Amino acid sequence: MRLSNGALYAKLPNTRAGIVLDSGWLYVTIDVEGGVDISEKEPSYNFGVVLAGATVNTGLTAFEVTNSSGFNVDIYIRGTDMEGGIGWTLSYTATPEENILGFKAGIEGGDYNIVVRKTEPYNKLVNGLAPSVSQKWGLQLLTPTIISDGVQKQGTITLMGVAS
């Protein structure tokens, strides 16, 4: 049930009070867990160069989760803080601030309206995904309003499958 690790990469300028100092990298691993058989087809994405206070979308078809169980599954999504140097805290409301970032997710045909949280209650990405069915989805990165260092950051976005 565990997928091979993949990553999201974002090259981020290091800014303090809006002044570009140098550059850094954001590395986010997409992972799956739960007591059901789900998998992620495209566990990596390169965001490219982004700025402090930016909103960057992967597109709502960048990733694809598949239910390989014999029953319907709800897919929940959660994230972690980004660690490395002066870490970035994952906002509970996806509202960026100094060294605080946000992630939102959405499914194909929809919008980025699902806040990715690090604490419960986690938000549901997909409701009742049928057996042998796949759902495309994407992420929206809301970068911190001020980035205090250019040290590489890393964290994880996790999809959790629960029988529905």
pTM of the model: 0.81
Task: For residue 62, give the DSSP letter.
Answer: S
Cβ atoms < 10 Å from Cβ of 84 = 16
The residue with greater pLDDT, 47 or 37, is 37
Answer whether residue 30 shows pLDDT above 80. no
What's residue 21's pLDDT?
A: 27
Residue 46's pLDDT band (cuts 50, 70, 90): low
Query: What are the structural domains of the chain?
Result: 6-163 (2.60.40)
CA angle 10, 13, 18 (to 5 degrees): 135
Q: In sequence order, what E strands does 51-122 have?
A: 55-57, 63-67, 73-79, 89-90, 100-107, 114-115
pLDDT more than 70, % of the chain: 74
Task: Tell me what pLDDT residue 2 has.
Answer: 26
When the pLDDT of each residue in the chain is averaged and rounded to a whole number, the result is 79
Confidence of residue 91 (pLDDT cuts 50, 70, 90): very high
Question: Percent of the chain having pLDDT more than 90?
Answer: 49
